[in-house]
Each structure stands twice: as C-alpha cells, then as structure tokens.
Structure 1
Amino acid sequence: MTTLSADPAMQAARELSATLFAKPWVFIRGVPSLKFLPPEGPPEIAFAGRSNVGKSSLINALVGAKGLARTSNTPGRTQELNYFVPGGYSGAEDDLPPMALVDMPGYGYAKAPKEQVDLWTKLVFDYMRGRSTLKRVYLLIDSRHGIKKNDEEVMDLLDKAAMSYQVVLTKTDKIKEAGVPRLIGETLNKLKRRPAAYPEVLATSSEKANGVDDLRIAIALAITV
C-alpha cells in the first residue's frame, strides 16, 4: 500500500478528509448532457474507468453509504455524470458544499448499442476537457486485468488536455496480497512518460475497505492544492 507523508499539507489533508467524509453524502443530480451541469463553483473530483471496474462501489466505500451510488452487475448501467456532495448545504451562492464527487459512465463496454456508447463517451470526454472546477480524475483500473488499451486511450486524452489524473487500483482483494506491490510498481512504470499522471498509485478494495482512507486523504489534498 502507498504510504502518505506527514508534512503540514498532508496533515491538513488528513484533517479535511476526516471532516468531509464524516458527513452524510447525498446525490444531487444526474447529468445526461453538458447543458445540465451544475454551475461551476466548488471543486470537483471525478472517477473514470472501464465498465464494471467498481466506481460506484468505491464511491460508496468512500462516503460510508452502501446504497448512495448505484451498483450493478450489468456493465454500462451508469450513463450519466452522477453528482454527490456532503449533505447539509442549501445550494445558495453563500452556502455551497466544499466539493463534489462525480461518478462518470464507464467506457469500453462493447455490448451496448454503438449510438449509446458514443453518446456517453462524448459526454465523459467533453466534461473532462472543459470543466474548470475539475481538480483531478481518479482513473480506476481493475487489479485483476491491469491497464488495457481503452484505459491508455483515456490517458492519452487526459495527457493532451493536461488534466491531472491518478490511477487507483480496484478489487485488490481479488488478487494475491503479495502481488499488490508488484502491480503498483508495474503500473508506475507505465505512467512514467505520461505528463498529466500523478506519480503515485493507490491500491484499494471496496469490499475490504483497504486503501479507502488513503484515497480520502488524496482527494482532500487534490482539492486544496
């Protein structure tokens, strides 16, 4: 697992993450096209990944609410940008949430109708290219399969757009524990020449809650720098 340093910025991120993720989180909006995006304001963190990589499950683990982000065994079910924020905010200009989490449609599911795939793929890519309040994309990679060609295509897009992204390995409980450090090292080697990739890989398991606190702290740091 990745060790996070204890410098002042990291300590502040730890404290912020403890506050943010202790709150009850709520779903506020599904965005089927860019014209329905909320007004730009609070920082946003987005989750990208191949269909069935575990985005919704990881979001649920982050916020401690099993049913907040919808999960499904059917790849390609999420077809909108789904927005989640800490609860207790009115939405007024002077009372906005400190951040939003965005669950993006999965990519790479070949069995969906081509027109449907094209629509939600364009939505995701346009959002990642054009949202000024988007601070980082967390690119989820299934630890059982590693980086695939369509993951590399998304990385190409993020690099071209100079959009900061960090790779998060999911479902690490499904592989041998001894293989996790090796997989982290292999993934880091593949990211070395990618200018927008954050030089640290996180390893997580939504089912076992492994690495979830590390991801919470990384998110808090990303929205404050």
Structure 2
Amino acid sequence: MNPLYHKARFLLSAPDITHLPPDTGAEVAFAGRSNAGKSSAINALTGQKSLARISKTPGRTQAINVFPLDEERRLIDLPGYGYAKVPERIRAHWRQALPRYLAERESLRGLVIIMDVRRPLTEQDAQMLEWCTHAGLSVHVLLTKADKLKRGPALNALQRLRARLDAEYPATTAQLFSASHGTGIDEIHRKLDEWLEVAGHAG
C-alpha cells in the first residue's frame, strides 16, 4: 500500500455541498447503496479499522464525510442511498445535491461506486451512473463482499456486470473486492493512484 492512503484522517462531515473544503486539489468520491460495504471498503483501502464508521444500521451516513490524504488530495464518503427508512426530505435533499456535486465539483477526479456482488447494479446504482455520464465523470465499480461467493460465481458476476457496463456506460471499469480478505486492494489503489496523480503511479 502506498503510505499516502494510510495517512487518511477524518476532517469533517458536511451537511451539504456548500460546507465542503475549498474546491482545489484532487478528490475521489465513494458512493453506494446502504449496506453494500462502503465503509468497510474505505477502511480496507486505507489500512485503518475505523476511519469510516461501520454501522449495522443501513442509511447511517447522511452527510458527506471528508478524509484528507495530504494538502492536495482527499477521499470523499457520500451518503448511502436506497434505504427506505431515511426520511423523504433527506432523500429529496440528496437527489438534488449529489448531481450538482458530481457535475460541478472541479477537484472531483472520479467516483467509486460500491455494489454488493450478489446484488449489483440496482436502480439507484444506475441513477448514479446516469448522473456521472451526464457530468462526464469517470467511474470505477467495486463489487464488494466477493468472499461471499465462490470464485467461479464471483467471476461470472463480474463478467456479466462488465458486459452491461460496456453496453450502457462504456467508460466505467469494474473489479471484485473483499474488505475482509483483502481481495482487489492493489487494483483499487492503482485506480486511485491514477485519478489522484500519486507519485510512483505506473501506467
């Protein structure tokens, strides 16, 4: 792991996009359906156990959490979506705010969408992909909890998702990931290195 990712620290929780840090440098955002494993993925790729708070209650992340890596680079944890018990006024707020963030945030280099390998590309995932396509934003999909399937079915799920992405969202890349087993961490690091222009990135 590049030591840069281990330096991630919590800075603030922004209730809306106007409370984010100045729009300079470079950042990568993480989005995903509630309980898809977003917090676990962020903790795994930063080598920290509790940077992003893991809750057994879906929909807990209802603000934008900001994790600086250094003075110029940040990871952004967006609110989880698709959880029915979140009040409608909050869902409506983020339906307006997230497309604006994706389209207008100049420091945003890419979006990582977290999908459970057993339930990929939900309606809400497709909505995020549509917003990113409209914004001209690069997307990388983490198919999380890959350890919950045997290797063959997991690879089949990845192949099916890639075929659909190629047809509908051709600029989107995807990989298998398991926070508990460490599967795919090097691959997501390479993508983050590319987007954040981390020194030593090859290719």
TM-score by length of 1: 0.82
Give the corresponding residue for 1:186: 160
Q: Give structure 2 stretches of 5+ with no counterpart.
A: 198-202
CA RMSD of aligned residues (A): 1.7
CA contact (8 A) 1:60 1:67 kept: yes
- Unmatched 5+ residue regions in structure 1? 1-16, 90-95
Number of corresponding residues: 198
Aligned counterparts, 1:63-212, within 5 A: 63-86=46-69, 96-97=71-72, 99-195=73-169, 197-198=171-172, 200-212=173-185
Shift of 1:194: 3.5
Q: Which has the higher contact order (CA 8 A, sep 6+)?
A: 1
1:196 CA displacement: 6.1
| CA distance in structure 2 between the aligned counterparts of 1:57 and 1:194, rounded to whole angstroms | 28
Q: Distance in 1 between matches of 2:162 and 2:170?
A: 13
Distance 1:116 1:105 in 2: 10
| Alignment deviations for residues 135-156 of structure 1 (CA, whole Å, 9 cap, x no partner) | 0001111101121122112211
Measure how far apart 1:26 and its partner are.
Answer: 0.7
Which residue of structure 2 aligns with residue 14 of structure 1? none
Instruction: Give the letter for the 2:155 counterpart.
Output: P
Match of 1:93 in 2: none
Cα deviation for residue 121 of structure 1 reads 3.4
What is the TM-score normalised by the length of structure 2?
0.91
CA distance in 2, matches of 1:120, 1:69: 20
> How many percent of aligned residue pairs carry the same amino acid?
34
Q: Distance in 2 between matches of 1:196 and 1:78?
A: 29
CA displacement at 1:206 relative to structure 2: 0.7
- Structure with the greater alpha carbon radius of gyration: 1
Counterparts of 1:178 and 1:193 in 2: how far apart (Å)? 23
